[in-house]
Structure 1
Amino acid sequence: MGAIATTVKEQIQKLTERGMDFDWGIEKAEEILLDIGYYRLGFYWNPFEIDATHKFEKDTKFSTVVKLYYLDVDLKNILNKALNRIEINLRTQLIYIVSNEYPQYPTWFANKKVMDSYFVDEFPKYYDNKFKDKNKPIKKHHNNYPNDIYAPAWKTLEFLSFGSIYSIFYSLKDEMLKYKIAKYYGFKSIKTFHNFFQTIIFIRNICAHSGLLYDSNTPKEISTTPFFKFNNNNKHSLDSSIKVILYFLGKISNDRKDIIESEISTLFDSFQNDNVIMKIITDKIGYIKIG
Protein backbone atom coordinates (compact mmCIF):
# COMPACT_ATOMS: atom_id res chain seq x y z
CA MET A 1 0.00 0.00 0.00
CA GLY A 2 1.50 3.32 -1.05
CA ALA A 3 1.33 6.82 0.35
CA ILE A 4 -2.17 7.48 -1.00
CA ALA A 5 -5.20 6.35 0.99
CA THR A 6 -7.41 3.78 -0.75
CA THR A 7 -10.96 2.56 -0.25
CA VAL A 8 -11.76 -0.97 0.89
CA LYS A 9 -12.95 -1.84 -2.63
CA GLU A 10 -9.65 -0.59 -4.04
CA GLN A 11 -7.75 -2.61 -1.45
CA ILE A 12 -9.63 -5.77 -2.41
CA GLN A 13 -8.98 -5.10 -6.09
CA LYS A 14 -5.28 -4.68 -5.37
CA LEU A 15 -5.13 -7.93 -3.39
CA THR A 16 -7.09 -9.76 -6.09
CA GLU A 17 -4.59 -8.62 -8.73
CA ARG A 18 -1.80 -9.97 -6.55
CA GLY A 19 -3.49 -13.37 -6.36
CA MET A 20 -5.46 -13.35 -3.10
CA ASP A 21 -8.39 -15.80 -3.00
CA PHE A 22 -11.30 -14.20 -1.12
CA ASP A 23 -12.77 -17.55 -0.14
CA TRP A 24 -15.09 -16.04 2.49
CA GLY A 25 -16.60 -13.69 -0.07
CA ILE A 26 -16.06 -10.01 -0.86
CA GLU A 27 -18.65 -8.74 1.61
CA LYS A 28 -16.97 -10.56 4.51
CA ALA A 29 -13.57 -9.32 3.34
CA GLU A 30 -14.81 -5.72 3.36
CA GLU A 31 -16.11 -6.21 6.91
CA ILE A 32 -12.78 -7.60 8.10
CA LEU A 33 -10.67 -4.93 6.40
CA LEU A 34 -12.82 -2.22 7.97
CA ASP A 35 -12.46 -3.97 11.33
CA ILE A 36 -8.76 -4.87 11.43
CA GLY A 37 -7.34 -2.63 8.71
CA TYR A 38 -5.38 -3.24 5.53
CA TYR A 39 -2.05 -2.15 6.99
CA ARG A 40 -2.27 -4.35 10.10
CA LEU A 41 -3.41 -7.41 8.14
CA GLY A 42 -0.51 -6.86 5.77
CA PHE A 43 1.87 -8.25 8.37
CA TYR A 44 -0.07 -11.52 8.21
CA TRP A 45 -0.23 -11.94 4.44
CA ASN A 46 3.44 -11.06 4.12
CA PRO A 47 4.56 -14.71 4.60
CA PHE A 48 2.60 -15.64 1.49
CA GLU A 49 4.24 -13.08 -0.80
CA ILE A 50 6.64 -14.60 -3.32
CA ASP A 51 8.34 -11.68 -5.07
CA ALA A 52 9.24 -7.99 -4.92
CA THR A 53 5.90 -7.03 -6.50
CA HIS A 54 4.09 -8.64 -3.54
CA LYS A 55 2.43 -11.33 -5.60
CA PHE A 56 0.97 -14.14 -3.50
CA GLU A 57 1.83 -17.79 -3.83
CA LYS A 58 -0.82 -19.90 -5.52
CA ASP A 59 -4.00 -20.62 -3.51
CA THR A 60 -3.33 -17.98 -0.84
CA LYS A 61 -6.66 -17.59 0.92
CA PHE A 62 -7.88 -14.53 2.75
CA SER A 63 -9.31 -16.81 5.44
CA THR A 64 -5.79 -18.14 6.15
CA VAL A 65 -4.48 -14.59 6.64
CA VAL A 66 -7.28 -13.80 9.08
CA LYS A 67 -6.74 -17.09 10.96
CA LEU A 68 -3.04 -16.27 11.31
CA TYR A 69 -3.95 -12.83 12.63
CA TYR A 70 -6.22 -14.30 15.29
CA LEU A 71 -3.67 -16.97 16.18
CA ASP A 72 -1.27 -14.12 16.93
CA VAL A 73 -3.87 -12.14 18.89
CA ASP A 74 -5.01 -15.15 20.93
CA LEU A 75 -1.44 -16.22 21.70
CA LYS A 76 -0.60 -12.69 22.87
CA ASN A 77 -3.65 -12.70 25.13
CA ILE A 78 -2.60 -16.03 26.67
CA LEU A 79 1.01 -14.98 27.17
CA ASN A 80 -0.01 -11.60 28.57
CA LYS A 81 -1.64 -13.36 31.51
CA ALA A 82 1.59 -15.20 32.25
CA LEU A 83 3.80 -12.16 31.66
CA ASN A 84 1.74 -9.94 33.96
CA ARG A 85 2.07 -12.52 36.73
CA ILE A 86 5.83 -12.79 36.17
CA GLU A 87 6.32 -9.03 36.03
CA ILE A 88 4.52 -8.48 39.33
CA ASN A 89 6.47 -11.28 40.99
CA LEU A 90 9.86 -10.09 39.75
CA ARG A 91 9.04 -6.55 40.82
CA THR A 92 7.90 -7.77 44.25
CA GLN A 93 10.98 -9.93 44.87
CA LEU A 94 13.36 -7.16 43.85
CA ILE A 95 11.66 -4.67 46.17
CA TYR A 96 11.40 -7.15 49.05
CA ILE A 97 14.91 -8.63 48.92
CA VAL A 98 16.84 -5.41 48.34
CA SER A 99 14.74 -3.32 50.76
CA ASN A 100 15.34 -5.84 53.53
CA GLU A 101 19.03 -5.97 52.70
CA TYR A 102 19.22 -2.18 53.13
CA PRO A 103 16.48 -1.26 55.64
CA GLN A 104 18.39 1.94 56.48
CA TYR A 105 18.00 3.11 52.86
CA PRO A 106 14.28 3.21 51.95
CA THR A 107 15.22 4.90 48.65
CA TRP A 108 18.12 2.52 47.97
CA PHE A 109 17.49 2.75 44.20
CA ALA A 110 18.93 6.30 44.33
CA ASN A 111 21.82 5.51 46.66
CA LYS A 112 25.31 5.19 45.19
CA LYS A 113 26.29 2.81 47.97
CA VAL A 114 23.76 0.37 46.55
CA MET A 115 23.47 1.27 42.86
CA ASP A 116 25.89 2.06 40.05
CA SER A 117 26.50 5.79 39.78
CA TYR A 118 25.24 6.14 36.21
CA PHE A 119 21.81 4.81 37.19
CA VAL A 120 21.52 7.14 40.19
CA ASP A 121 22.62 10.12 38.10
CA GLU A 122 20.06 9.34 35.37
CA PHE A 123 17.13 8.56 37.67
CA PRO A 124 15.90 12.18 38.18
CA LYS A 125 15.07 12.30 34.47
CA TYR A 126 12.38 9.70 35.04
CA TYR A 127 11.24 10.77 38.49
CA ASP A 128 10.01 14.19 37.45
CA ASN A 129 6.88 16.23 38.15
CA LYS A 130 5.01 14.39 35.40
CA PHE A 131 5.83 11.06 37.07
CA LYS A 132 4.63 12.35 40.44
CA ASP A 133 1.40 13.80 39.05
CA LYS A 134 0.61 10.72 36.98
CA ASN A 135 0.87 8.28 39.90
CA LYS A 136 -1.46 9.21 42.74
CA PRO A 137 0.29 7.30 45.57
CA ILE A 138 3.57 9.02 44.66
CA LYS A 139 1.88 12.41 44.53
CA LYS A 140 0.20 11.72 47.86
CA HIS A 141 3.53 10.73 49.41
CA HIS A 142 5.15 14.02 48.41
CA ASN A 143 2.16 15.99 49.66
CA ASN A 144 2.57 14.28 53.02
CA TYR A 145 6.37 14.39 53.03
CA PRO A 146 7.34 17.47 51.00
CA ASN A 147 11.02 17.24 51.98
CA ASP A 148 11.47 13.74 50.52
CA ILE A 149 13.27 13.66 47.19
CA TYR A 150 11.81 10.25 46.40
CA ALA A 151 9.13 7.96 47.76
CA PRO A 152 10.37 4.67 49.26
CA ALA A 153 11.23 1.76 46.97
CA TRP A 154 8.03 -0.17 47.74
CA LYS A 155 6.04 2.78 46.37
CA THR A 156 8.30 4.08 43.61
CA LEU A 157 9.18 0.78 41.93
CA GLU A 158 5.53 -0.17 41.57
CA PHE A 159 5.15 2.61 38.98
CA LEU A 160 8.31 2.10 36.95
CA SER A 161 8.32 0.28 33.63
CA PHE A 162 9.34 -3.36 33.51
CA GLY A 163 12.42 -2.32 31.56
CA SER A 164 13.36 0.01 34.41
CA ILE A 165 12.99 -2.86 36.88
CA TYR A 166 15.50 -4.82 34.82
CA SER A 167 17.84 -1.80 34.79
CA ILE A 168 17.62 -1.55 38.56
CA PHE A 169 18.51 -5.23 38.96
CA TYR A 170 21.36 -4.87 36.48
CA SER A 171 22.68 -1.75 38.27
CA LEU A 172 22.88 -3.29 41.74
CA LYS A 173 26.48 -3.18 42.95
CA ASP A 174 26.32 -6.24 45.20
CA GLU A 175 26.73 -9.34 43.02
CA MET A 176 25.78 -11.60 45.92
CA LEU A 177 22.50 -9.71 46.25
CA LYS A 178 21.87 -10.25 42.55
CA TYR A 179 22.62 -13.92 43.04
CA LYS A 180 20.16 -14.07 45.94
CA ILE A 181 17.39 -12.76 43.66
CA ALA A 182 18.38 -15.08 40.81
CA LYS A 183 18.54 -18.05 43.19
CA TYR A 184 14.93 -17.41 44.22
CA TYR A 185 13.98 -18.44 40.66
CA GLY A 186 16.30 -21.44 40.64
CA PHE A 187 19.25 -19.88 38.81
CA LYS A 188 22.85 -20.64 39.73
CA SER A 189 24.14 -18.14 37.17
CA ILE A 190 23.41 -14.40 37.28
CA LYS A 191 24.30 -14.22 33.58
CA THR A 192 21.61 -16.77 32.70
CA PHE A 193 19.08 -14.96 34.88
CA HIS A 194 19.91 -11.72 33.02
CA ASN A 195 19.38 -13.50 29.72
CA PHE A 196 16.01 -14.95 30.73
CA PHE A 197 14.92 -11.61 32.20
CA GLN A 198 15.72 -9.89 28.89
CA THR A 199 13.77 -12.56 26.99
CA ILE A 200 10.73 -11.94 29.19
CA ILE A 201 10.94 -8.18 28.52
CA PHE A 202 11.34 -8.74 24.77
CA ILE A 203 8.17 -10.84 24.50
CA ARG A 204 6.29 -8.66 26.98
CA ASN A 205 6.96 -5.56 24.86
CA ILE A 206 5.66 -7.29 21.73
CA CYS A 207 2.48 -8.38 23.51
CA ALA A 208 1.92 -5.04 25.21
CA HIS A 209 2.43 -2.93 22.08
CA SER A 210 0.55 -4.99 19.48
CA GLY A 211 3.73 -6.20 17.83
CA LEU A 212 4.08 -9.17 15.51
CA LEU A 213 4.47 -12.19 17.78
CA TYR A 214 4.27 -15.36 15.66
CA ASP A 215 7.34 -14.40 13.63
CA SER A 216 9.40 -12.99 16.50
CA ASN A 217 12.94 -14.12 17.19
CA THR A 218 14.93 -12.92 20.18
CA PRO A 219 17.85 -10.66 19.22
CA LYS A 220 20.01 -12.49 21.74
CA GLU A 221 20.42 -16.24 21.90
CA ILE A 222 18.58 -17.73 24.88
CA SER A 223 21.05 -19.30 27.29
CA THR A 224 21.37 -23.07 27.42
CA THR A 225 20.13 -24.41 30.73
CA PRO A 226 19.12 -27.77 32.23
CA PHE A 227 15.58 -26.43 32.66
CA PHE A 228 14.36 -27.40 29.17
CA LYS A 229 15.50 -28.37 25.67
CA PHE A 230 15.22 -26.19 22.57
CA ASN A 231 13.25 -27.58 19.64
CA ASN A 232 15.63 -28.00 16.67
CA ASN A 233 18.26 -26.31 18.85
CA ASN A 234 16.72 -22.94 17.94
CA LYS A 235 17.65 -20.58 20.77
CA HIS A 236 15.94 -17.55 19.23
CA SER A 237 12.47 -18.91 18.38
CA LEU A 238 9.18 -17.89 19.92
CA ASP A 239 8.74 -21.44 21.20
CA SER A 240 12.03 -21.09 23.12
CA SER A 241 10.83 -17.78 24.56
CA ILE A 242 7.58 -19.47 25.62
CA LYS A 243 9.66 -22.09 27.42
CA VAL A 244 11.39 -19.27 29.32
CA ILE A 245 8.02 -17.79 30.26
CA LEU A 246 6.69 -21.16 31.44
CA TYR A 247 9.86 -21.76 33.46
CA PHE A 248 9.47 -18.48 35.34
CA LEU A 249 5.76 -19.06 35.82
CA GLY A 250 6.44 -22.52 37.26
CA LYS A 251 8.65 -20.95 39.92
CA ILE A 252 5.74 -18.74 40.92
CA SER A 253 2.82 -21.16 40.57
CA ASN A 254 2.88 -24.63 39.03
CA ASP A 255 -0.91 -24.58 38.77
CA ARG A 256 -0.80 -21.36 36.78
CA LYS A 257 1.95 -22.73 34.57
CA ASP A 258 -0.15 -25.83 33.80
CA ILE A 259 -3.15 -23.66 32.88
CA ILE A 260 -1.16 -21.42 30.52
CA GLU A 261 0.64 -24.38 28.95
CA SER A 262 -2.69 -26.10 28.37
CA GLU A 263 -4.19 -22.96 26.81
CA ILE A 264 -1.25 -22.66 24.40
CA SER A 265 -1.48 -26.33 23.43
CA THR A 266 -5.26 -26.05 22.91
CA LEU A 267 -4.80 -22.97 20.72
CA PHE A 268 -2.21 -24.65 18.50
CA ASP A 269 -4.23 -27.89 18.37
CA SER A 270 -7.24 -25.95 17.10
CA PHE A 271 -5.36 -25.54 13.79
CA GLN A 272 -4.36 -29.19 13.39
CA ASN A 273 -6.62 -29.55 10.35
CA ASP A 274 -5.18 -26.45 8.68
CA ASN A 275 -1.88 -27.49 7.08
CA VAL A 276 -0.85 -23.94 6.18
CA ILE A 277 -1.24 -22.55 9.71
CA MET A 278 0.28 -25.66 11.27
CA LYS A 279 3.35 -25.23 9.08
CA ILE A 280 3.71 -21.66 10.38
CA ILE A 281 3.30 -22.88 13.97
CA THR A 282 6.00 -25.48 13.38
CA ASP A 283 8.42 -23.56 11.17
CA LYS A 284 8.11 -19.96 12.40
CA ILE A 285 7.04 -20.38 16.02
CA GLY A 286 9.13 -23.54 16.41
CA TYR A 287 6.46 -25.44 18.34
CA ILE A 288 6.54 -29.23 18.31
CA LYS A 289 3.81 -31.08 20.17
CA ILE A 290 5.14 -33.79 22.44
CA GLY A 291 3.00 -36.81 23.20
Structure 2
Amino acid sequence: MGRIATTVDKQIKLLTDRGLVLDCGEQKAKEHLLDIGYYRLGFYWNPFEIDNQHNFKKDTNFSTVINLYYLDVDLRYLLMRALNRIEINIRTQIIYQVSNNYKNSPTWFSDPKVMKPKFIQDFPKFYDYKFIENNKPIKEHHNKYINDIYAPAWKTLEFLTFGSIYSIFYNLKDDTLKKKIIQHYGIKKVDVFINYFRTIIFIRNICAHSGLLYDANSPLAIKPTPLIKINNNNRHSLNTAIQVIIHFLGKISTNRKVDLEKGIEKLYTQHKHNQEIKNIIENKIGYDFC
Protein backbone atom coordinates (compact mmCIF):
# COMPACT_ATOMS: atom_id res chain seq x y z
CA MET A 1 0.00 0.00 0.00
CA GLY A 2 1.09 3.56 -0.62
CA ARG A 3 0.04 6.74 1.16
CA ILE A 4 -3.73 6.22 0.84
CA ALA A 5 -5.72 3.90 3.11
CA THR A 6 -7.46 0.99 1.40
CA THR A 7 -10.28 -1.38 2.30
CA VAL A 8 -9.66 -4.98 3.30
CA ASP A 9 -11.13 -6.14 -0.04
CA LYS A 10 -8.55 -4.10 -1.93
CA GLN A 11 -5.83 -5.40 0.37
CA ILE A 12 -6.84 -8.98 -0.45
CA LYS A 13 -6.79 -8.26 -4.19
CA LEU A 14 -3.39 -6.61 -3.90
CA LEU A 15 -1.94 -9.61 -2.08
CA THR A 16 -3.38 -12.18 -4.47
CA ASP A 17 -2.27 -10.14 -7.51
CA ARG A 18 1.26 -10.32 -6.08
CA GLY A 19 1.03 -14.09 -5.82
CA LEU A 20 0.06 -14.78 -2.21
CA VAL A 21 -2.00 -17.97 -1.90
CA LEU A 22 -5.04 -17.63 0.39
CA ASP A 23 -4.86 -21.26 1.54
CA CYS A 24 -6.86 -20.37 4.66
CA GLY A 25 -9.69 -18.95 2.56
CA GLU A 26 -10.54 -15.36 1.69
CA GLN A 27 -12.83 -14.80 4.67
CA LYS A 28 -10.22 -16.01 7.17
CA ALA A 29 -7.58 -13.89 5.45
CA LYS A 30 -9.81 -10.84 5.91
CA GLU A 31 -10.22 -11.70 9.58
CA HIS A 32 -6.44 -11.79 10.01
CA LEU A 33 -5.99 -8.48 8.23
CA LEU A 34 -8.65 -6.79 10.36
CA ASP A 35 -7.26 -8.37 13.52
CA ILE A 36 -3.51 -7.82 13.04
CA GLY A 37 -3.40 -5.16 10.34
CA TYR A 38 -1.98 -5.04 6.84
CA TYR A 39 1.00 -2.91 7.82
CA ARG A 40 2.06 -5.11 10.77
CA LEU A 41 1.62 -8.31 8.77
CA GLY A 42 3.86 -6.80 6.12
CA PHE A 43 6.83 -7.42 8.42
CA TYR A 44 5.97 -11.12 8.34
CA TRP A 45 5.40 -11.59 4.63
CA ASN A 46 8.46 -9.51 3.78
CA PRO A 47 10.80 -12.57 3.91
CA PHE A 48 8.74 -14.18 1.16
CA GLU A 49 8.86 -11.25 -1.28
CA ILE A 50 11.15 -11.58 -4.28
CA ASP A 51 11.37 -8.07 -5.75
CA ASN A 52 10.83 -4.35 -5.18
CA GLN A 53 7.25 -4.66 -6.42
CA HIS A 54 6.55 -6.90 -3.40
CA ASN A 55 5.69 -9.94 -5.48
CA PHE A 56 5.74 -13.20 -3.57
CA LYS A 57 7.81 -16.28 -4.04
CA LYS A 58 5.85 -18.98 -5.88
CA ASP A 59 3.43 -20.93 -3.66
CA THR A 60 3.74 -18.64 -0.66
CA ASN A 61 0.77 -19.39 1.60
CA PHE A 62 -1.01 -16.85 3.77
CA SER A 63 -0.98 -19.43 6.58
CA THR A 64 2.84 -19.38 6.55
CA VAL A 65 2.79 -15.62 7.13
CA ILE A 66 0.34 -16.06 10.01
CA ASN A 67 2.41 -18.88 11.52
CA LEU A 68 5.51 -16.69 11.43
CA TYR A 69 3.55 -13.92 13.12
CA TYR A 70 2.45 -16.22 15.94
CA LEU A 71 5.94 -17.64 16.29
CA ASP A 72 7.02 -14.08 16.99
CA VAL A 73 4.14 -13.47 19.41
CA ASP A 74 4.76 -16.69 21.35
CA LEU A 75 8.51 -16.09 21.52
CA ARG A 76 7.93 -12.58 22.87
CA TYR A 77 5.66 -14.03 25.53
CA LEU A 78 8.25 -16.59 26.63
CA LEU A 79 11.04 -14.02 26.75
CA MET A 80 8.97 -11.34 28.47
CA ARG A 81 8.32 -13.61 31.46
CA ALA A 82 12.03 -14.23 31.79
CA LEU A 83 12.95 -10.59 31.24
CA ASN A 84 10.54 -9.41 33.94
CA ARG A 85 12.22 -11.77 36.40
CA ILE A 86 15.69 -10.57 35.36
CA GLU A 87 14.75 -6.90 35.51
CA ILE A 88 13.41 -7.16 39.05
CA ASN A 89 16.43 -9.16 40.16
CA ILE A 90 19.00 -6.73 38.75
CA ARG A 91 17.09 -3.80 40.21
CA THR A 92 17.00 -5.52 43.61
CA GLN A 93 20.71 -6.42 43.56
CA ILE A 94 21.75 -2.85 42.80
CA ILE A 95 19.44 -1.38 45.47
CA TYR A 96 20.57 -3.92 48.08
CA GLN A 97 24.32 -3.85 47.45
CA VAL A 98 24.73 -0.10 47.01
CA SER A 99 22.34 0.88 49.79
CA ASN A 100 24.12 -1.39 52.27
CA ASN A 101 27.50 -0.15 51.12
CA TYR A 102 26.44 3.48 51.79
CA LYS A 103 24.15 3.05 54.81
CA ASN A 104 24.51 6.72 55.78
CA SER A 105 23.46 7.93 52.35
CA PRO A 106 19.91 6.61 51.64
CA THR A 107 19.71 8.78 48.53
CA TRP A 108 23.12 7.66 47.32
CA PHE A 109 22.04 8.06 43.68
CA SER A 110 22.39 11.83 44.25
CA ASP A 111 25.61 11.61 46.28
CA PRO A 112 28.72 12.92 44.44
CA LYS A 113 30.85 10.49 46.44
CA VAL A 114 28.90 7.61 44.93
CA MET A 115 27.79 8.71 41.47
CA LYS A 116 29.47 10.46 38.55
CA PRO A 117 28.66 14.19 38.25
CA LYS A 118 26.76 14.02 34.94
CA PHE A 119 24.24 11.54 36.33
CA ILE A 120 23.57 13.69 39.40
CA GLN A 121 23.20 16.75 37.21
CA ASP A 122 20.66 15.08 34.93
CA PHE A 123 18.67 13.19 37.57
CA PRO A 124 16.20 16.01 38.41
CA LYS A 125 14.90 15.73 34.81
CA PHE A 126 13.55 12.29 35.73
CA TYR A 127 12.60 12.97 39.34
CA ASP A 128 10.22 15.81 38.64
CA TYR A 129 6.72 16.79 39.78
CA LYS A 130 5.12 14.34 37.32
CA PHE A 131 7.28 11.47 38.60
CA ILE A 132 6.23 12.18 42.18
CA GLU A 133 2.53 12.55 41.32
CA ASN A 134 2.42 9.39 39.19
CA ASN A 135 3.99 7.12 41.82
CA LYS A 136 1.90 6.90 44.97
CA PRO A 137 4.60 5.66 47.40
CA ILE A 138 6.92 8.49 46.30
CA LYS A 139 4.15 11.04 46.70
CA GLU A 140 3.31 9.69 50.16
CA HIS A 141 6.96 9.88 51.15
CA HIS A 142 7.18 13.57 50.26
CA ASN A 143 3.90 14.32 52.01
CA LYS A 144 5.37 12.80 55.15
CA TYR A 145 8.93 14.09 54.81
CA ILE A 146 8.36 17.48 53.23
CA ASN A 147 12.01 18.54 53.39
CA ASP A 148 13.38 15.52 51.51
CA ILE A 149 14.58 16.27 48.01
CA TYR A 150 14.36 12.59 47.08
CA ALA A 151 12.88 9.42 48.56
CA PRO A 152 15.41 6.75 49.59
CA ALA A 153 16.93 4.53 46.92
CA TRP A 154 14.84 1.46 47.82
CA LYS A 155 11.73 3.49 47.05
CA THR A 156 12.95 5.64 44.17
CA LEU A 157 14.65 2.95 42.08
CA GLU A 158 11.54 0.78 42.08
CA PHE A 159 9.83 3.36 39.88
CA LEU A 160 12.65 4.13 37.45
CA THR A 161 12.82 2.60 33.99
CA PHE A 162 15.12 -0.35 33.38
CA GLY A 163 17.24 1.94 31.21
CA SER A 164 17.65 4.28 34.18
CA ILE A 165 18.74 1.35 36.35
CA TYR A 166 21.40 0.58 33.76
CA SER A 167 22.49 4.22 33.86
CA ILE A 168 22.76 4.09 37.65
CA PHE A 169 24.98 1.02 37.50
CA TYR A 170 27.08 2.50 34.72
CA ASN A 171 27.62 5.75 36.65
CA LEU A 172 28.65 4.20 39.96
CA LYS A 173 32.13 5.40 40.82
CA ASP A 174 33.24 2.38 42.84
CA ASP A 175 34.44 -0.39 40.50
CA THR A 176 34.88 -2.75 43.46
CA LEU A 177 31.20 -2.35 44.26
CA LYS A 178 30.29 -2.95 40.62
CA LYS A 179 32.27 -6.20 40.67
CA LYS A 180 30.44 -7.27 43.82
CA ILE A 181 27.12 -6.78 42.02
CA ILE A 182 28.10 -8.63 38.85
CA GLN A 183 29.48 -11.62 40.77
CA HIS A 184 25.87 -12.50 41.53
CA TYR A 185 25.53 -13.30 37.81
CA GLY A 186 28.77 -15.25 37.50
CA ILE A 187 30.46 -12.44 35.56
CA LYS A 188 33.94 -11.19 36.41
CA LYS A 189 34.42 -8.21 34.10
CA VAL A 190 32.35 -5.04 34.36
CA ASP A 191 32.51 -4.34 30.62
CA VAL A 192 31.05 -7.79 29.89
CA PHE A 193 28.20 -7.20 32.35
CA ILE A 194 27.49 -3.81 30.77
CA ASN A 195 27.45 -5.40 27.32
CA TYR A 196 25.01 -8.10 28.47
CA PHE A 197 22.89 -5.58 30.38
CA ARG A 198 22.48 -3.47 27.23
CA THR A 199 21.60 -6.59 25.23
CA ILE A 200 18.90 -7.50 27.75
CA ILE A 201 17.46 -3.97 27.57
CA PHE A 202 17.42 -4.12 23.76
CA ILE A 203 15.40 -7.34 23.67
CA ARG A 204 13.22 -6.25 26.60
CA ASN A 205 12.20 -3.05 24.77
CA ILE A 206 11.24 -4.98 21.64
CA CYS A 207 9.11 -7.40 23.66
CA ALA A 208 7.52 -4.69 25.80
CA HIS A 209 6.39 -2.74 22.74
CA SER A 210 5.27 -5.74 20.66
CA GLY A 211 8.06 -5.09 18.21
CA LEU A 212 9.44 -7.32 15.48
CA LEU A 213 11.49 -9.98 17.24
CA TYR A 214 12.38 -12.76 14.79
CA ASP A 215 14.38 -10.34 12.61
CA ALA A 216 16.01 -8.49 15.52
CA ASN A 217 19.77 -8.13 15.41
CA SER A 218 21.52 -6.60 18.38
CA PRO A 219 23.25 -3.37 17.25
CA LEU A 220 25.84 -4.12 19.91
CA ALA A 221 28.12 -7.10 19.26
CA ILE A 222 27.63 -9.46 22.19
CA LYS A 223 30.93 -10.16 23.94
CA PRO A 224 32.03 -13.78 23.63
CA THR A 225 32.65 -15.59 26.92
CA PRO A 226 32.42 -19.27 27.98
CA LEU A 227 29.07 -18.32 29.56
CA ILE A 228 27.35 -17.68 26.21
CA LYS A 229 26.87 -20.04 23.28
CA ILE A 230 27.28 -18.22 19.97
CA ASN A 231 26.18 -20.13 16.87
CA ASN A 232 28.15 -19.50 13.66
CA ASN A 233 30.10 -16.74 15.43
CA ASN A 234 27.09 -14.42 14.99
CA ARG A 235 27.44 -12.04 17.91
CA HIS A 236 24.44 -9.94 16.80
CA SER A 237 21.81 -12.67 16.35
CA LEU A 238 18.62 -12.97 18.34
CA ASN A 239 19.66 -16.46 19.42
CA THR A 240 22.88 -15.10 20.93
CA ALA A 241 20.89 -12.44 22.80
CA ILE A 242 18.57 -15.18 24.06
CA GLN A 243 21.60 -17.07 25.38
CA VAL A 244 22.44 -13.99 27.46
CA ILE A 245 18.89 -13.97 28.84
CA ILE A 246 19.08 -17.69 29.60
CA HIS A 247 22.38 -17.24 31.45
CA PHE A 248 21.03 -14.46 33.67
CA LEU A 249 17.82 -16.36 34.34
CA GLY A 250 19.85 -19.41 35.36
CA LYS A 251 21.62 -17.36 38.03
CA ILE A 252 18.23 -16.41 39.45
CA SER A 253 16.30 -19.67 39.11
CA THR A 254 17.49 -22.96 37.65
CA ASN A 255 13.91 -24.14 37.23
CA ARG A 256 12.86 -21.03 35.30
CA LYS A 257 15.94 -21.38 33.07
CA VAL A 258 14.98 -24.97 32.22
CA ASP A 259 11.38 -23.89 31.58
CA LEU A 260 12.52 -21.18 29.17
CA GLU A 261 14.89 -23.47 27.27
CA LYS A 262 12.21 -26.15 26.93
CA GLY A 263 9.59 -23.59 25.96
CA ILE A 264 11.75 -22.15 23.17
CA GLU A 265 12.72 -25.60 21.89
CA LYS A 266 9.08 -26.69 21.85
CA LEU A 267 8.01 -23.50 20.06
CA TYR A 268 10.65 -23.85 17.35
CA THR A 269 9.88 -27.56 16.91
CA GLN A 270 6.19 -26.74 16.35
CA HIS A 271 7.20 -24.75 13.27
CA LYS A 272 9.98 -27.06 12.07
CA HIS A 273 7.69 -28.84 9.59
CA ASN A 274 7.35 -25.64 7.53
CA GLN A 275 10.61 -25.35 5.62
CA GLU A 276 10.23 -21.62 5.04
CA ILE A 277 9.81 -20.88 8.73
CA LYS A 278 12.51 -23.42 9.65
CA ASN A 279 14.91 -21.47 7.43
CA ILE A 280 13.99 -18.24 9.22
CA ILE A 281 14.52 -19.85 12.64
CA GLU A 282 17.94 -21.09 11.57
CA ASN A 283 19.16 -18.21 9.40
CA LYS A 284 17.52 -15.12 10.90
CA ILE A 285 17.09 -16.08 14.55
CA GLY A 286 20.28 -18.14 14.51
CA TYR A 287 18.96 -21.25 16.27
CA ASP A 288 20.62 -24.59 15.55
CA PHE A 289 18.22 -27.53 15.38
CA CYS A 290 21.10 -30.01 15.46
Q: Deviations over 1:139-180 (max 9, x none)?
A: 110111111000000000000000000000000011111111
Q: Distance in 2 between matches of 1:9 and 1:239?
A: 38
Q: Distance in 1 between matches of 2:14 and 2:150?
A: 57
1:64 and 2:64 matched: yes
Stretch of structure 1 that moved more, 129-138 or 271-280: 271-280
Contact 2:282–2:289, Cα closer than 8 Å, also in 1: no
- Which ranges in structure 1 are unaligned for 5 or more consecutive residues? none
2:123 aligned residue = 123
Q: CA deviation at 1:228?
A: 3.0
Q: CA deviation at 1:90?
A: 0.1
1:168 and 2:168 matched: yes
- Which ranges in structure 2 are unaligned for 5 or more consecutive residues? none
Contact 2:228–2:240, Cα closer than 8 Å, also in 1: no
1:10 aligned residue = 10
Q: Which amino acid aligns with 2:20?
A: M
2:269 aligned residue = 269
Q: Distance in 2 between matches of 1:168 and 1:233?
A: 31
Q: Distance in 2 between matches of 1:188 and 1:151?
A: 32
1:55 aligned residue = 55
1:252 and 2:255 matched: no
Contact 2:48–2:56, Cα closer than 8 Å, also in 1: yes
- TM-score normalised according to structure 1 size: 0.98
Q: Which amino acid aligns with 1:34?
A: L
Alignment RMSD: 0.7
Q: Map of 1:13-92 to 2, 5 A cutoff?
A: 13-92=13-92
**3-state SS of the aligned residue for 1:43?**
helix
Q: CA deviation at 1:59?
A: 1.1
Q: Distance in 2 between matches of 1:184 and 1:227?
A: 14
The aligned length equals 290
Q: Which amino acid aligns with 1:158?
A: E
Q: Which amino acid aligns with 1:219?
A: P
Q: CA deviation at 1:229?
A: 2.5
**3-state SS of the aligned residue for 1:219?**
coil
Moved over 4 A (4+): none
Q: CA deviation at 1:183?
A: 1.2
1:200 and 2:200 matched: yes
Q: Which amino acid aligns with 1:48?
A: F
2:94 aligned residue = 94
Q: Distance in 2 between matches of 1:181 and 1:170?
A: 12
Q: Distance in 2 between matches of 1:226 and 1:268?
A: 25
Q: Which amino acid aligns with 2:7?
A: T
Q: CA deviation at 1:16?
A: 1.0
Contact 2:215–2:285, Cα closer than 8 Å, also in 1: yes
**3-state SS of the aligned residue for 1:284?**
helix
Q: Deviations over 1:113-148 (max 9, x none)?
A: 100000000000010110011110001101111110
**3-state SS of the aligned residue for 2:227?**
coil
Q: CA deviation at 1:54?
A: 1.0
Q: Distance in 1 between matches of 2:96 and 2:48?
A: 49
Q: CA deviation at 1:289?
A: 2.8
Q: Distance in 1 between matches of 2:274 and 2:184?
A: 42
Q: Map of 1:143-182 to 2, 5 A cutoff?
A: 143-182=143-182
Q: CA deviation at 1:182?
A: 1.0
Q: Which amino acid aligns with 1:29?
A: A
Q: Deviations over 1:185-205 (max 9, x none)?
A: 111111101001011000000
Q: Map of 1:105-124 to 2, 5 A cutoff?
A: 105-124=105-124
Q: Deviations over 1:209-250 (max 9, x none)?
A: 111000001001100101132111111101001100000000
Q: Distance in 2 between matches of 1:169 and 1:88?
A: 14
Q: Which amino acid aligns with 1:191?
A: D
